[in-house]
A and B are shown apart, each in its own frame.
Chain A
Amino acid sequence: MSPPKPPRKRLTYVGVFTCKGGVGKTTISAHLAGAFALSGYDVALVDMDPQRNLTTLLGEGVNLPGLGGKRSVTVYGIDEWVDTKPPEDIKMVVCDCSPAFDSNPAELVKKFDYCVIPTTLNPLGLNKNGHVIKSTLEAIRSINKTAELFVLINNYFEDETVKGKVLREEYQRFFQDLVGRDKKFHFIDPEEAAIRNSKQLFYWGYHIYTGGRSELAFTPYAGKCLPKADFLNLLQYLEENTTIEKLKEA
């Protein structure tokens, strides 16, 4: 008599969310999932945005040269994703959320274990984005009290040392109050992990106009690939600050 099958382990959800469009949600969702796959995680992408940006950009998914063979990341539309019947072997799900909070299915948002909230670090955006993040936090907390939230700087210019330092400190000050009130709210210091400004990410998605193949901005350009370094580094930051690493295949 064979022992009963152990119950299927619950999926781990990472939502990429902000109440504002155009800060790089879709780009970050796709490449974060790509970094997970490169590092040996079994991951799927769910496109929760009614604009279906991810699906337009990646089609049904992408293949990546991973450690120990090729891996793929499949993109599911929100109507295709059934939480109780996930695809075989998928342990982790990255969700590209809609900036209109109410159009994200609450049942799924409730399941988020982690949220990545992208923002930019420019002077005019600081005040505005700061408030956007505050309202994003409130929106998520209205239905999910337990997710760990990480604010991530996108489009970062690391060369602007003085300006960058001033803005970073302003941001930290702005969020101090939130960090104090919510123990699961974290601002990722861009010195530790950020997504740097790069041509590759700026022009990512160009293939939809030329009919090119769907791929992530992980191909080196003139020998360099900032996005690959940054997303692998972000993943490392998340591994150090959460328990996701145990989901990785042995």
Chain B
Amino acid sequence: MNVRNDFERFEELVCILMKRAGWEAKLMPRGQKGYDIEARRGKDTVAVQVKDYRVPVKVPQVEKFLDFMESPEAQKFTKGFFVTSTKFSPQSLTYFAQRSEAKIKLAGISNGSTSPLP
């Protein structure tokens, strides 16, 4: 079963999975700059960027999210999650590793289960 097909938007699935994990998650309206979901749990307020691509996430998308996380608008967030329905390209992982932002995590979701990345 491909759980993805049950949702119109991949963001909805991510939102539901976060709620199940105890997050208070809110889907942002389409066109929201920088992120798709705002989630709170305990002391954390998290910006979640979701990419539902046919191809791997590439360097410019990771760069854009890291830049957003450093922008004044993102100062309220304690963490940033970048979730994809496919995978991250090797170069985007190299770029991410080298920029090493402790408060940002990458993850991939397939068939309803998440796999965090280093």
Contacts and interface: CB of A to CB of B under 8 A. Distances in A.
Given A38-B94, A39-B90, A67-B94, A232 B99 contact: no
Nearest to A235: B91
Interface string B39-74: 000000000000000000011100100010010000
B: contact size bracket: 10 to 19
Centre residue among B60, B63, B98 by max chain A CB count within 10 A: B98
Interface stretch (A22-30, A44-52, A147-155, A218-226): A218-226
B70 A232 contact: no
A228 interface: yes
B99 A233 contact: no
A174 to B, nearest CB: 25
B77 interface: no
Q: Is the interface of B mostly helix, strand, loop or mixed?
A: helix
A67 B97 CA distance: 9
Interface residues of A, number: 18
Contact of B98 (A223, A228, A236): A228
Given A39-B90, A233-B60, A233-B91, A65 B98 contact: yes
Nearest to B59: A233
A249 to B, nearest CB: 12
Contacts of B98: 38, 65, 218, 228
B34 to A, nearest CB: 15
A229 B92 CA distance: 8
Nearest to B69: A223
Contacts of B90: 39-40, 236
A236 B91 contact: yes
A229 B95 contact: yes
Nearest to B90: A39
Nearest to B98: A228
B115 interface: no
Nearest to A225: B99
Contacts of B60: 229, 233
9 contacts: A38-B94, A223-B99, A225-B99, A229-B63, A232-B92, A233-B59, A233-B60, A233-B91, A236-B91
Give the 9 A-B residue pairs with the shortest CB-CB distance, closest first.
A232-B91, A233-B59, A236-B91, A229-B63, A232-B59, A232-B95, A229-B59, A38-B94, A39-B94
